[in-house]
Structure 1
């Protein structure tokens, strides 16, 4: 994870589009990820007994790359 990506606050899971939650779009700018994506972190959420942790990705546009 880049320093810039590590410093940014991740959005709540409910704020993500389907593509962002599936790792196909940048977590911050929603641009499609085709190359150069870096892990931005894991959004940790629960719904009762269900773990909804979601790994999200950033594109080079938002990761400083």
Structure 2
């Protein structure tokens, strides 16, 4: 059996400008805290999704 070295990718966004930057976002629905201190960077040309414990968010 042959093995090859693992391919290591550059860290997300290394050397790139972010298309969207959000920092320290809070979201409440009444007394329910849906988000607390969310920070993220979304980069050009990358597929980015947000998935919670019940799957992807969607409107009904």
Which of the five TM-score ranges fits, normalised by the shorter chain?
under 0.3
The TM-score normalised by the length of structure 1 is 0.26
Flag the structure with larger Rg.
2
Structure (1 or 2) with the greater strand fraction: 2
